[in-house]
Amino acid sequence: MNKITIDKNKNIPLYMQVYSQIKRFIENGSLPGGYKLPTIRSLAKELGVNNITIINAYKLLEQNGYVYTKVGSGTYVCEDIKKDDEMEENIKSLDQGQFALRKGMINFASSSPNPELFPVEDFRELINRVLKRDGGYAFEYQDTKGYKPLRESVKEFVKKDQIFTSIDNIQIISGGQQGIDVVSKALINFEDAIIAERPTYSWALASFESRGAEILEVELQKDGIDLEELEDKLKKFKPRFIYVIPNFHNPTGITYSEEKKKKLISLAEKYETYVVEDDFASELSFTKEKTLPLKAYDKHDRVIYIKSFSKVYMPGLRLGFIIAPERFVSSFLKAKYVSDLSTSGLMQRAFDLYLRENIWVKHVESIKQVMYERFSEMGRRLENLKNYTEFEHPKGGFYFWLKLKNNLSAKSLYSKCLDRNLMIVPGDIFFMGKKENSFVRLSFASCEVKEIAKGIEILGEILKGYFDENNNVYVPII
Amino acid sequence: MNKITIDKNKNIPLYMQVYSQIKRFIENGSLPGGYKLPTIRSLAKELGVNNITIINAYKLLEQNGYVYTKVGSGTYVCEDIKKDDEMEENIKSLDQGQFALRKGMINFASSSPNPELFPVEDFRELINRVLKRDGGYAFEYQDTKGYKPLRESVKEFVKKDQIFTSIDNIQIISGGQQGIDVVSKALINFEDAIIAERPTYSWALASFESRGAEILEVELQKDGIDLEELEDKLKKFKPRFIYVIPNFHNPTGITYSEEKKKKLISLAEKYETYVVEDDFASELSFTKEKTLPLKAYDKHDRVIYIKSFSKVYMPGLRLGFIIAPERFVSSFLKAKYVSDLSTSGLMQRAFDLYLRENIWVKHVESIKQVMYERFSEMGRRLENLKNYTEFEHPKGGFYFWLKLKNNLSAKSLYSKCLDRNLMIVPGDIFFMGKKENSFVRLSFASCEVKEIAKGIEILGEILKGYFDENNNVYVPII
């Protein structure tokens, strides 16, 4: 095995140092699948550390799917490790994912409403008003922090979500992904620990990884993140932050209970860390319960709130904002400057009017209605596939998250769907270490009701084929 | 001193490891100014390395302004080290730098033409054409690589600069700064070495630093980077890339000779590294010589070409492109995706028409004319200040770079100018390690000819005051 180095003066726990290095050796292939790791005792001796350090490192490697233990034999490197180039494959498939171009395809993949639903006419008018009013100044560099009137509008806008903040804490960004990137730049140093839900939005993970973070996953339960597992990891790893999507989660559709939201913040306070909240769709609730963002419960100023305008309004705006705890305001500003200097002034000025004059209200009402119809149709149709899949009905957002029965491979299902001009998203891209291969994400964001009916019908036929083929159909009891 | 750890298995030279760690201790203040470093022999013994390793590490620390040597006494930490928070100060002053708002201020700081010169009317029309033609699709997520027709237009556009490429090698970005950020994300790993000109654009350095790069500076000469020093550093450090601004350099205004451009590429080829070319204004030549980008001479596919549309066209477009060597195409795509998913489709579509229908030609002609007039005025007026300053006339772009005589402090000059409502940029922000405090950058980009005359007059009065006060006026011989 390559040499592992330990630095007792570093601010990183020893077993984390051992974990990081072995993980890297596995990922870069210098420890191949099937390789037997040194025994705990021998490695502890070699490094001059306690056995418990190595035990903890190996346990973490196992939890994250890098190694497995054979009782009485030892610890071995797994065969099916996520390689660097896998992310590239994902992006390539996403790039092919310009499926709107492939005629007649039913699109259960896209995470934003179809362009016909965008409030284009309102924006055309607003853009022209801004150009007439501001001329060349609309094309000047904008303040790095964001166009001040827009920050004022945002301050008013978030009051509907029980968020009360100052314009000094608002940082305008070019969409939610940039928000994640800016926060990563400002907060993550090489080898810092980060906690994320398992599964979660994969391009957040990519951003953390790109900064050299060690990502630790914590399981999602039906009402939010597993708080016990979380507390355990908070204690051990002192992570820089916990990244969560508390409302209408991507990909699982899960919404945190109010209780869990509050407890999550208390834990962050207790362990002196922060929660990064990714809010892409909390406007789109299908129930009468109020689904407030985590930030609404943030008494301790522990929540970094990232809001995207891409999904509910229009992706092409490239707009969003961060509400930052006081202490991060200037580091986020610097990270934004390094990223792209500033966000388009024209879009900021137009969106300011859109918020300021409450034009958004009617759009949100109408898109909520449309999404509710699509959600209902998909949910109703999916009920017929309960022989083959397990799932919950989300309380809002865009996604159904299906667990395929009999460990059916989601990738194989994906290919078969593609053959029938149906695009779904295999769930493995939303996991880090140990892959889960039997989940799929279905989005109803960009399909008409009729298409949804057709798409689920196709999906059902394909699933039926699998289960028939394999002679292990689940016969309904009635 | 804190403990230094050495890892002989790492792919990083040992003295670089020692250098990085001591540098970090100095920057984070754990080694204060005036602290005496251990002797070469004792540190070498402690770390179990050769004396020459420590000698090289200390030499590099000295070159980069972190330590100084007292002959016969030892090596000491410098007092005036650039701290992390200095960058924040810079950004704050930049933020105050929304000087257009302060009435009557003469702005020699801004790096882009005043908004009155922007082709706003053309864009208003193009935006409306696009919205009519594409509707909601103009606000959809765009391809991460960029809107294909725009990539086609860019391919044609760069032929004027003798660049012949394929649309597969073109990556659309949201402005030049994002180009630097994307390249950094894709290419720089923690502790990688990077070479940059001394001085250079400070926000490129900030981006490299943010990735944990070790930045090595190489002096600029009148005709471009010092090739001897460069070759020496290429040999020693195997940097990931060399970052340069070969035409109308920011801040110095220097343009590389054709010969140096060619030799730079040959060196990159010889030492198997890459050159990142930042082109923000090569359209704006004031001479009849052709000033081609480095990329035009790139026979070996060693140049990563970043082109910004912000300075010559409009900052608010948030548009630019990278022309990437084949081998980096997919890693740049991934880095772009992580950064912000994609660049505004509306702007890409409008700019596509702007290029495709050759509307840009008349704009470039007219802005070149205006800039030439401003350049001439500033140059002519500055000739009267030769008692106090040294400078060259640039061949294009926006900047005069003044060396103040008698080591006059640029920061002090900056304050006095501000008192008289004149904004200049003190040059120290463009240096990394060892600061130079007697340079100022004057931009003529956003001032009318009359304002330039007035501004230089004020500058002259202030300078005269200094030199009179100090009783060391340079009396002209005639």
**Which residues of chain A make contact with B141, given a CB cutoff of 8 A?**
112, 310, 315-316
pLDDT at residue B87 greater than cutoff 60: no
> How many other β-carbons are positioned within 10 Å of the β-carbon of residue A166?
11
Separation CA A56–CA A15 (nearest Å): 6
Residue A238 backbone zone (phi > 0: left; psi -120 to 50: alpha; other: beta) = left
Identify the pLDDT of residue A4: 85
**Which residues of chain B make contact with A212, given a CB cutoff of 8 A?**
189-190, 212
Identify the pLDDT of residue A422: 94
Distance from CA of B295 to the nearest CA of A (A): 23
Cβ-count burial A91-128 (b if 16+ within 10 Å, e if not):
beebeebebbeeeebbbbbbbbbbbebbbbebbbebbe
- A317 and B206 within 8 Å at the Cβ level: the answer is no
Task: Give the nearest chain B residue to A210 (CA atoms).
Answer: B185
Separation CA B278–CA B284 (nearest Å): 14
- B330 and A117 within 8 Å at the Cβ level: the answer is no
Task: Give the nearest chain A residue to B185 (CA atoms).
Answer: A210
- Per mean pLDDT, which range of A130-144, A234-248, A251-265, B427-441 is the poorest? B427-441
- A-B Cβ pairs (cutoff 8 Å, strict): 203
The sheet with strand B439-443 has its strands ordered as B389-390, B399-404, B439-443, B425-426
Has the ipTM of the complex gone over 0.85?
no
Q: Which of B125, B139, B185, B314 to mutate to test the interface with A (most CBs of A within 10 A)?
A: B139
pLDDT band at B88 (very low <50, low <70, confident <90, very high): very low
- Quote the percentage of chain B above a pLDDT of 90: 71
Distance from CA of B401 to the nearest CA of A (A): 23
User: What fold does the segment set A120-358 form as a domain?
Assistant: Aspartate Aminotransferase; domain 2 (3.40.640)
Task: Give the nearest chain A residue to B211 (CA atoms).
Answer: A211
- B315 and A139 within 8 Å at the Cβ level: the answer is yes
| Tens digits of residue pLDDT in A420-439 | 999 999 999 999 877 788 99
Beta bridge partners of B70: B74
**A96: Cβ contacts below 8 Å, ≥ 6 apart:** none
**Which residues of chain B make contact with A174, given a CB cutoff of 8 A?**
174, 318, 340
**Which residues of chain A make contact with B116, given a CB cutoff of 8 A?**
135-136
**Which residues of chain A make contact with B315, given a CB cutoff of 8 A?**
139-141, 341
Q: Which of B93, B214, B344, B443 to mutate to test the interface with A (most CBs of A within 10 A)?
A: B344
Nearest to A316 among B316, B333, B344 (CB): B344
User: What fold does the segment set A14-77 form as a domain?
Assistant: Arc Repressor Mutant, subunit A (1.10.10)
Region A304-309 average pLDDT: 97
| Prior bond of A476 cis (ω within 30°) | no
Region B288-316 average pLDDT: 94
**Which residues of chain B make contact with A185, given a CB cutoff of 8 A?**
210
Nearest to B88 among A100, A330, A345 (CB): A330
**CATH placement of domain B84-111+362-469:** 3.90.1150.10
pLDDT at residue B417 greater than cutoff 90: yes
Tokens of B447: 């001032």
Distance from CA of A143 to the nearest CA of B (A): 7
Separation CA A322–CA A171 (nearest Å): 5
Q: What is the largest CA-CA distance in chain B?
A: 77
- B338 and A120 within 8 Å at the Cβ level: the answer is no
Tokens of B318: 């948030």
Element (H, E) at A182: helix A176-187
Region A396-408 average pLDDT: 95
- DSSP character string of A368-385: HHHHHHHHHHHHHHHGGG
**Which residues of chain B make contact with A7, given a CB cutoff of 8 A?**
3, 5
C-beta of residue B236 within 8 angstroms of C-beta of residue B270: no
Task: Give the nearest chain B residue to A117 (CA atoms).
Answer: B136
User: What fold does the segment set B121-358 form as a domain?
Assistant: Aspartate Aminotransferase; domain 2 (3.40.640)
Residue type, B384: N
Identify the pLDDT of residue A162: 97
Rg (CA), chain A: 24
Separation CA A12–CA B227 (nearest Å): 42
Task: Give the nearest chain A residue to B332 (CA atoms).
Answer: A88
Residue written as tokens 């597992």? A229
A154 vs B15: which has the higher pLDDT:
A154
Q: How far is CA A346 from CA A132, A174, A182, B100, in A?
A: 11, 12, 21, 18
B47 vs A278: which has the higher pLDDT:
A278
| Prior bond of A251 cis (ω within 30°) | yes
Task: Give the nearest chain A residue to B115 (CA atoms).
Answer: A136
Identify the pLDDT of residue B473: 44
* End-to-end CA separation in angstroms for chain B: 58
Q: How far is CA A445 from CA A113, A292, A441, B134, in A?
A: 5, 21, 12, 20
- A334 and B91 within 8 Å at the Cβ level: the answer is yes
The residue ranges of every structural domain in chain B are 14-77, 84-111+362-469, 121-358
pLDDT band at B423 (very low <50, low <70, confident <90, very high): very high
Identify the pLDDT of residue A64: 73
Q: Which long-range contacts (CB under 8 A, 24 or more apart) does A11-16 make?
A: A12/A191, A13/A236, A13/A237, A14/A49, A14/A53, A15/A52, A15/A53, A15/A54, A15/A55, A15/A56, A15/A57, A15/A60, A16/A57, A16/A60, A16/A191, A16/A193, A16/A214, A16/A237
pLDDT at residue A100 greater than cutoff 80: no
Distance from CA of A184 to the nearest CA of B (A): 10
Residue written as tokens 């390789």? A35
- Per mean pLDDT, which range of A171-185, A212-226, A410-424 is the poorest? A410-424
Beta bridge partners of B426: B440
Distance from CA of A405 to the nearest CA of B (A): 33
C-beta of residue A45 within 8 angstroms of C-beta of residue A7: no
Name the burial class of residue A34, with classes exposed (0-12), middle (13-18) and buried (19+) by CB atoms within 10 angstroms of its CB: exposed
**Which residues of chain A make contact with B112, given a CB cutoff of 8 A?**
140-141
Identify the pLDDT of residue A469: 63
**Which residues of chain A make contact with B5, given a CB cutoff of 8 A?**
5, 7
What's A327's DSSP letter?
G
Name the burial class of residue B413, with classes exposed (0-12), middle (13-18) and buried (19+) by CB atoms within 10 angstroms of its CB: buried
**Which residues of chain B make contact with A95, given a CB cutoff of 8 A?**
143-145, 333
**Which residues of chain A make contact with B8, given a CB cutoff of 8 A?**
3
Residue of A88, A191, A210 whose CA lies nearest to B211: A210
Region B315-327 average pLDDT: 95
* End-to-end CA separation in angstroms for chain A: 58
Beta bridge partners of B225: B220
Region B455-475 average pLDDT: 78
Identify the pLDDT of residue B470: 55
pLDDT band at B233 (very low <50, low <70, confident <90, very high): very high
Separation CA B178–CA B341 (nearest Å): 12
pLDDT band at A373 (very low <50, low <70, confident <90, very high): very high
pLDDT band at B71 (very low <50, low <70, confident <90, very high): confident
- B120 and A138 within 8 Å at the Cβ level: the answer is yes
**Which residues of chain B make contact with A321, given a CB cutoff of 8 A?**
none
**Which residues of chain B make contact with A135, given a CB cutoff of 8 A?**
115-116, 120
| Tens digits of residue pLDDT in B274-292 | 999 999 999 999 998 889 9
- B318 and A343 within 8 Å at the Cβ level: the answer is yes
Q: How far is CA B415 from CA A127, A204, B149, B461, in A?
A: 39, 43, 48, 14
Separation CA B51–CA A255 (nearest Å): 61
- Per mean pLDDT, which range of A56-60, A94-98, A288-292, B327-331 is the poorest? A94-98
- A177 and B338 within 8 Å at the Cβ level: the answer is yes
Nearest to B115 among A136, A185, A342 (CB): A136
- A310 and B334 within 8 Å at the Cβ level: the answer is no
Region A356-363 average pLDDT: 96
- A95 and B181 within 8 Å at the Cβ level: the answer is no
Tokens of A83: 């390689």
- Per mean pLDDT, which range of A44-53, A337-346, A374-383, A451-460 is the poorest? A44-53
What is the residue-averaged pLDDT of chain B?
A: 90
Separation CA A374–CA A254 (nearest Å): 18
Identify the pLDDT of residue A450: 96
Task: Give the nearest chain B residue to A110 (CA atoms).
Answer: B141
